[in-house]
Structure 1
Amino acid sequence: MKDILSEIIANKRFEVDLQKQTITIDQLLESIEGIPEARSMKQALIASDSGIIAEFKRRSPSKGWIKQEARVEEIVPAYLAAGASALSILTDEKFFGGGLKDIRTARPLVNIPILRKDFIIDEYQLYQAKIVGADAVLLIAAALQPEQCHALTEKAHELGLEVLLEIHSADELPYIYKGIDMVGVNNRNLGTFFTNVENSFRLAEQLPQESVLISESGISDPQTVKRLRQAGFRGFLIGETFMKTPQPGESLQEFVQGTR
């Protein structure tokens, strides 16, 4: 079976190497000066009634185009108005149809935290995230060695960014340490892209309950959110459920009402 994650990571290394040839880290460092302090995604989720992290995503490797014509200017403000606690914005172009410009466009339009969702393998990408206005970054255990994950977490914190650590299985529990801001369980296997929300329930009791826990992917029913809350989750990252509808903001609003 084709391992989609390996293909994505190989392409990401190639992309980052090309970007470094165009803009050096020293140049990125100069651009960081004067960037406003980041918002806390962790605190936003703790304070939120819904806990919904609404995702802006145009396509996926498994489904193809979900909403090719999607515009940040239309969907992101609608997510905010509908009650999103935070935003997740895909910035991978080849596989997800996104880009850093999507965060740059979204930042002035909303006052809630923005997560840069990408396959972070190099601190260069952390500088990029800071410059375009992200407040947090996703680090994927399946894409990193533990020491890489720790180093990237420390660098993110130096830059004032929070970290959402994503795991998929019990084998990745050792990646969790006290420096991690939020722990996410991806219900989608990144090798096969098979999705099963029961993955969150299977891992719930093994996760540190003092952490802000987030369930990611495959959530399409408000009743599932209610069950996940009872299992200890505070955040729920949902994208395709909203993005595949004509009006993602309205879909989110109906979903939030269903979770109450």
Structure 2
Amino acid sequence: MKDILEEIVAWKRFEVAKYKETISEREIHTLAERLSDCEVPSMKQALDKSETGIIAEFKRKSPSKGWIKQGGRASEIPLSYQTNGASAISILTDEKYFGGHDDFIREARNSGVTIPILYKNFIIDEYQLFQARISGASAVLLIAADLRKDTCKNLIRTAHELRLEVLLEMHNEKELEYCELEPDMCGINNRNLGSFVTDIQTSFRLASLLPYDTVKVSESGISSAITINQLRMAGFQGFLIGENFMRADNPGAALRDFIKQTDNMQKQS
């Protein structure tokens, strides 16, 4: 598959400009200010204290594989994830490439989801942080490959001002220098966002290079309890899993069974 990361980022710039024509920056700032006293659950604390650390993802589509669960409902699946033991939930909000929407977070919250929700998108403008805040997210994903270091620093600062935590995603040794920006959580994506090739060894290779005291999250390509236990031994506290659950007839039940397998393996080791 061709490298489409540049294409996605270019589309985001166009998309954000169109959003600003609908709701001005001034208006969206006002909407966020009204929520200044509203607390959202901490994803960092949830992962740090959790025995499973699983971030179950609501992901209906991907650029490389097309529709995964086109009829998946944000009013049902995230709550089912919570009921069946997820530590946090990741919700794709990109519409064009991943079939997502900001309203999916609102629907999840209205359905009764109280655990942390990660706003997962390609964030390149602080306007999107305000979108995340008013949607009900706890944290946002920032991708080092999308951002200049100074831009990333400013986005982290604005996110914190909005009481949003930041999961900073990296893919290679060079991007690890972004760790000095002190995000709340450091993520290693095992999937190359340009080629969409997945290699779980990326997490194992980079684990020891991450700051010792940071909350570490491994993302993508995780499909077995054995891998979870190996990643935990390598120092990871969070494990973002999407397609493995979303392809099941009942994603919540698939999560429950996966956690049982992980627990049984831990007891045997």
**Structure 1 stretches of at least 4 aligned residues deviating more than 4 Å after TM superposition:** none
Which residue is 1:14 aligned to?
A: 14
Which ranges in structure 1 are unaligned for 5 or more consecutive residues?
none
Letter in 1 for 2:147: L
Alpha-carbon separation, structure 2, partners of 1:159 and 1:219: 31
Answering whether residue 90 of structure 2 is matched by residue 88 of structure 1, we say yes
Deviation at 1:96, TM superposition (A): 0.1
- Count, aligned residues: 260
- Gaps (5+ residues) in structure 2? 264-269
Quick check: 1:243 aligned with 2:246?
yes
TM-score, with normalisation over the residues of structure 1? 0.98
CA positional deviation for 1:178: 5.3
The AA in structure 1 aligned to 2:214 is: S
Deviations 1:149-184 (A, max 9, x none): 110000000000000000000010111125310000
Counterpart mapping for 1:51-130 below 5 A:
51-108=53-110, 109-130=112-133
Q: CA deviation at 1:197?
A: 0.8
Q: 1:214 is matched with which residue?
A: 217
**What SS does the aligned partner of 1:177 have?**
helix
How is 1:136-155 mapped onto 2 (pairs within 5 angstroms)? 136-155=139-158
User: 95-104 vs 24-33, which deviates more?
Assistant: 24-33
Q: Which residue of 1 aligns with 2:32?
A: 32
What TM-score, normalized to structure 2? 0.95
Q: Which amino acid aligns with 1:213?
A: K
Distance in 2 between residues matched to 1:258 and 1:220, nearest whole Å: 11
Question: Is the contact between residue 76 and residue 108 of structure 2 (CA under 8 Å) also seen in structure 1?
Answer: no
SS at match of 1:185: strand
Matches of 2:217 and 2:259 in 1, distance apart?
16
Deviations 1:91-130 (A, max 9, x none): 0000000000001111232110000000000000000100
Give, in whole Å, the separation in 2 of the partners of 1:44 and 1:245: 25
* 2: CA distance, partners of 1:257 / 1:209: 29
* In 2, Cα distance between equivalents of 1:74 and 1:44: 22
2:142–2:152 contact (8 Å) kept in structure 1: yes
| Identity across the alignment (%) | 58
Q: CA deviation at 1:34?
A: 3.4
The one-letter code matched in structure 2 to 1:11 is: W
